[in-house]
């Protein structure tokens, strides 16, 4: 039985220019529902956030939306979710998302998505959690970030033993197999070759 019961998805409140982004978000939501895995996300109804939530809901999935009070109108809070949590601020939102999730996925998004990904990765880097993280690199969206991480490593700012630990996949269908295998590897401490690890 999988130890992954709920997955937090970080993504944009916009759809982006490439239609592949919204399609990947919707498919990921459907994949979560089909696998009986709950979705935890930012609570909005716009952009990729809305797509992943609606994809999960359309398949009968459990969706937990977590949104700060000041974004309820701006991000058009999705009332149809299974569980809706309105927080006082962004810090409470992020901690609640962390506490309710067994793994994390980053879809394309803006500076907020990047900030959430970097924070959860930093917590992992510093040994504050062992929950698996994966980038869904739709249409190569995350390639510039991966290049920046390589540059940081070459310049000795990412040292051995304190590296950034997440996987990278290209399609929404690869997300859950990666997360489940990585969760099992971390539980049993048996080496696993990921779909594609950062170089």
CA atoms in the 13 A half-sphere facing the CB of 64: 19
Of the given ranges (46-50, 81-85, 99-103, 190-194), which has the lowest mean pLDDT?
A: 190-194
- What gap in Å lies between CA 48 and CA 8, rounded to an integer? 13
- What gap in Å lies between CA 154 and CA 5, rounded to an integer? 37
Q: What is the pLDDT of residue 35?
A: 97
Contact 114, 2 (CB under 8 A): no
How large a percentage of the chain has pLDDT more than 90?
76
Class for the domain spanning 6-188: alpha beta
Edge-to-edge order in the sheet of strand 6-10: 83-87, 63-68, 38-41, 6-10, 103-106, 133-136, 167-169
Q: How far is CA 77 from CA 33, 43, 183, in A?
A: 20, 6, 31
Encode pLDDT of 111-157 as tens digits.
999 999 999 999 988 889 999 999 999 999 999 999 999 999 899 99
Contact 78, 50 (CB under 8 A): yes
Q: Where are the domains of the chain?
A: 6-188
Q: What is the pLDDT of residue 111?
A: 96
Contacts of 41 (CB under 8 A, 6+ apart): 8, 9, 10, 11, 49, 52, 53, 63, 64, 65, 66, 97
Encode pLDDT of 61-109 as tens digits.
999 999 999 988 777 778 889 999 999 999 999 999 999 999 999 999 9
């Amino acid at each position: 039985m999988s130890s992954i019961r709920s997955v937090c998805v970080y993504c944009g409140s916009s759809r982006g220019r490439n239609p592949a982004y919204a399609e990947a978000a919707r498919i990921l939501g459907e994949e979560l529902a089909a696998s009986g895995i709950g979705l935890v996300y930012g609570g909005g109804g716009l952009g990729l956030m809305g797509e992943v939530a609606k994809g999960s809901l359309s398949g009968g999935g459990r969706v937990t939306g977590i949104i700060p009070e000041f974004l309820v109108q701006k991000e058009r809070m999705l009332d149809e979710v299974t569980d809706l949590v309105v927080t006082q601020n962004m810090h409470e939102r992020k901690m609640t998302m962390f506490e309710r999730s067994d793994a994390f996925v980053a879809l394309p998004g803006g500076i907020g998505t990047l900030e959430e990904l970097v924070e959860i990765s930093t917590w992992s880097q510093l040994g504050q959690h062992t929950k698996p993280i994966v980038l869904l690199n739709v249409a190569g969206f995350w390639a510039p970030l991966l290049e920046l991480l390589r540059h940081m490593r070459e310049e000795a700012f990412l040292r051995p033993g304190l590296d950034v630990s997440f996987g990278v996949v290209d399609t929404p269908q690869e997300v859950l197999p990666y997360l489940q295998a990585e969760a099992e590897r971390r539980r049993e401490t048996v080496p696993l070759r990921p779909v594609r690890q950062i170089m």
